[in-house]
Structure 1
Amino acid sequence: MLHAVIAAAAEGETRNPLIPETYDIVWSLVCFVVILFFFWKLVLPKVQKMLDDRAEAIEGNIAKADDAQRKAEAALEQYTAQLAEARVEAGQIREQARADGQKIVAEQKDAASAEAARITATAQAQIEAERQAAVVSLRSEVGTLAIDLASGVIGESLTDDAKAAAIVDRFLADLEASEKATPSAGKN
């Protein structure tokens, strides 16, 4: 190119070497229009469609994200409500269990008191029965001893059973009467 500039300067042309020739401008313009037309009709619609699809996908994802966020917030509110209900129900269950426990304890105390009263009554009845058996046994032994003693003191045999039984009963009755009279005199 440097040679062309030097040759042109030597010929004496006054033309500017930086400005292209007219045919270069025309053919460049034709090529530019063809490329522009090709770009405008084929490439640009595909790029525009791709951008539109991408914009729709982004908007769809944003809508899905908003929907998911609303669902998550609703689920959180529902979870919070269920948690509050569960806490209230747990409190009620604890109170019911506490009341049932107190009721069971009271029932067990009542049952224990009733059992203790029954055992005491049974023991009292058994003691009374043993006392009666002891009194009967003592009467017969005391009666026999009293008859033997009376026979020894009197010097004759007391073999009449009816008479001996009457004497023993009268002796024991006098003995019981003196026992009852002695504690009441001590109390006064």
Structure 2
Amino acid sequence: MEMIEKLPENIVLENDFIVLSLGASATNAINARTTVLLDIEKEDFTTPIFNEKIYTVDYLTPSSLNVPSIFLTQGYDDDTVSFRITGNNSEYFTINPSGNNVELAIQKTIPEELIFEEKVLIFNIIAEKPLTVGARAAISVYFPIGEFVYLFVFVLEINYNTDICSIFNIRSFYFRTD
């Protein structure tokens, strides 16, 4: 895909993204449609940006995690930036900002039932700064494969005439390996 002419400047300044709908059709064929999301990047050095969009965290023990470095690559200042975590299951964790670096730690024991149900806990870290949109990244906490095993067998049925997908859960069960 290429642009035939430059976007008007007011479109670029007033929007963070543009959504395009692309379609294709032909005689004796199934019509196709897709959506293209164009992210508009602007020269802005004050809005916070995390060094990663998704942080992959390994759960080691009920009291320790293996966490990559979490920090802002731009937009940090001591006086106005604040950090917080939000989302389902974020209550089991706490953050400790130290300047531009943020440490993630376990705040309370994660129930085994939750580990079995969710397999991966996903929540958000947010950096807020006045007069900006702030920054948001995802944190994914993975549990060790050797400790808990989850088996899920399914059949996926796709009806091409109606574009309906159905998942039939045949079996799912959990067991500990120790």
Per the normalisation by structure 1, the TM-score is 0.16
Question: Which structure exhibits the higher relative contact order, with contacts defined as CA atoms closer than 8 Å and separated by 6 or more residues?
Answer: 2
In proportion to residue count, which structure has more strand?
2
Larger radius of gyration: 1
